[in-house]
Amino acid sequence: MIHFPRTSLARELVDALSGDISLSDAPNGLFLAAPRRTGKSTFLRFDLCPELDRRGALPIYVDLWSDKGRDPAELITGAIRDAAVKTMGLGQKLKKSMKGKVAAMGVGVSFDPDAIGRRDGLSLPEGLVRLHEVAKRPICLIVDEAQHALTTKGGANAMSALKSARDQMNGPGSVALMLVMSGSDRDKLLRLVNSNAAPFFGSHISRMPLLGLPYVEHVTAEVRRTYPELGKVSAEELLTPFELFGARPQFFVDAINEAIRDAKSGRSFDETVLSLAKNAEEMAYEQMEATYMALPGLERAILWAMLESGGGFRPYDAKALAFYRKKTGKAVTAAQTQAALARLREREGPLVWKSARGEYAIEDAAMARWFEALRDLKRWPPSS
């Protein structure tokens, strides 16, 4: 399926980032949350980066999930080094072709990109300042799945360094470093902004808009064009299944393809897509229920407490321990809780996430939606 461009959203965000909108806090950093697979990375890479480039900024994109085996700090530093190499590489080419103008381009400020982030080299803020001098344009660093930085000490330090770079490089009316942090989970992203010790204390997190009717119209138009034999295919009809798929393009497009195959044997296209969407939601919830029910009692009680706390979870306080005791019928110690939390994190398909500072959150935000759905139906807790 071809890319659906989100140009106006990109334009709006760049306006906000560059300080063109008074009262917007975006020049201090833009924090965007939206569930997994809803198109964040695609938007950041294929809409936001090109728009930044068009508007004269230097975009640097790094996805902290791109290699979970590497320290997030290394990934961030690596992306900045790569951008410096690329920027100076271009500078070199210009140097050859524009001999007379070299001086004006400030060749004297070149530096060794490899020194960025090395102990005996340049700190992250120093590296960014130098890169800005060489590039002669504002830098926009986009950190995708930024919450992952907090899972290591190095990553957390890198975040603080970015904040300090921002403070050094930006002043009233001039923005030399823009920061965009995105994440699949608002709760985890909150750890970057919600306490005195958090690197971006005071910033707030925006919901990144989900794809909606315009995207569905775009897909519908393509289906109509490619399969005119399907007859009437309406975007309005397809919007409901798209939303049932959690506004996730991949699942939606898979269902469309299946419905196209089925339509050849006479089934209604719209109805097939809708029933596939309903099945998918039901199956996802059944899967979660099965996972939950298969957990040992204490793990289940802890997860319940986390789901119910909706973000401010304190695993070891008296209230939590009393809750576990009530649910499991046994006295529970902090040490037992800690061990159970470790098991929840270390299992194949982790259910719990932990920051380097010892804060916990539900790993998959979809589980919170499942919990809320059951609670709304007065079906919580599930029974086997």
Q: Which residues bind ligand ADP (CB under 6 A)?
A: 1, 3-4, 6, 36-42, 249-250
Instruction: Give the per-residue SS3 of the chain.
Output: CCCCCCHHHHHHHHHHHCCCCCCCCHHHCEEEECCCCCCHHHHHHHHHHHHHHHCCCEEEEEECCCCCCCCHHHHHHHHHHHHHHHHHHHHHHHHHHCHHHCHHHCHHHCCCHHHECCCCCECHHHHHHHHHHHHCCCEEEEEECHHHHHHCHHHHHHHHHHHHHHHHHCECCECCEEEEEEECCHHHHHHHCCCCCCCCCCCCEEECCCCCHHHHHHHHHHHHHHCHHHCCCCHHHHHHHHHHCCCCHHHHHHHHHHHHHHHCCCCCHHHHHHHHHHHHHHHHHHHHHHHHHCCCHHHHHHHHHHHHHCCCCCCCCHHHHHHHHHHHCCCCCHHHHHHHHHHHHHCCCCCEEECCCCCEEECCHHHHHHHHHHHHCCCCCCCC
Task: Return the range that interacts with Mg ion (CB under 5 A); candidates 37-45, 207-215, 298-306, 337-345.
Answer: 37-45
> What distance in Å separates the CA atoms of residue 181 and residue 13, rounded to the nearest whole number?
12
- Pick one of ligand ADP, Mg ion, none as the site partner of residue 42 (Cβ within 5 to 8 A by kind): ligand ADP
The yes or no reply on residue 38 touching Mg ion (CB under 5 A) is: no
- 88 neighbors 134 (Cβ within 8 angstroms): yes
**41 vs 147, beta carbon nearer ligand ADP:** 41
Calculate the CA 248 to chain-centre distance.
14
d(CA 292, CA 323): 17
* Binding partner at 1 among Mg ion, ligand ADP, none, C-beta below 5 to 8 Å by kind: ligand ADP
Contact range with Mg ion by CB under 5 A, out of 36-44, 146-154, 207-215, 321-329? 36-44
Residue 249: name its binding partner from ligand ADP, Mg ion, none (Cβ under 5 to 8 Å by kind): ligand ADP
Tell me the closest approach of the beta carbon of residue 248 to Mg ion, in angstroms.
12
- Closer to ligand ADP at the Cβ: 87 or 151? 151
Q: How far is the CB of 247 from Mg ion (least distance, A)?
A: 14
Q: Which does 166 bind (CB under 5 to 8 A by kind): ligand ADP, Mg ion, none?
A: none
Q: Which of Mg ion, ligand ADP, none does residue 132 bind (CB under 5 to 8 Å by kind)?
A: none
Minimum distance, C-beta of residue 134 to ligand ADP, in the bound complex (Å): 30
Q: Smaller CB distance to ligand ADP: residue 31 or 324?
A: 31
In the list ligand ADP, Mg ion, none, the entry touching 136 (Cβ below 5 to 8 angstroms by class) is none
Question: Which range touches Mg ion (CB under 5 A), out of 10-18, 39-47, 95-103, 195-203?
Answer: 39-47
Nearer to ligand ADP, 15 or 254 (CB): 254
In the list ligand ADP, Mg ion, none, the entry touching 3 (Cβ below 5 to 8 angstroms by class) is ligand ADP
Rank residues 45 and 95 by Cβ distance to ligand ADP and give the closer one.
45
Number of Cβ atoms within 10 Å of the Cβ of 168: 14
Q: Which is nearer to Mg ion, 179 or 301 (CB)?
A: 179
First to last CA, the chain: 41
Of 75 and 134, the one with the shorter C-beta distance to ligand ADP is 75
User: Which span (33-41, 217-225, 278-286, 344-352) binds Mg ion, by CB under 5 A?
Assistant: 33-41
CB of 148 to ligand ADP, least distance (A): 13
Contact with Mg ion (CB under 5 A) among 41, 151, 194, 272: 41
Nearest approach in angstroms of CB 24 to Mg ion is 24
* Closest C-alpha among 310, 300, 289, 306 to residue 343: 300
Binding partner of residue 4 among Mg ion, ligand ADP, none, CB under 5 to 8 Å per kind? Answer: ligand ADP
Closest to ligand ADP by CB, 40 or 81: 40
How far, in Å, CA of 52 to CA of 16, rounded? 12
Q: How far is the CB of 128 from ligand ADP (least distance, A)?
A: 25
Name the residues that contact Mg ion, by CB under 5 A: 41
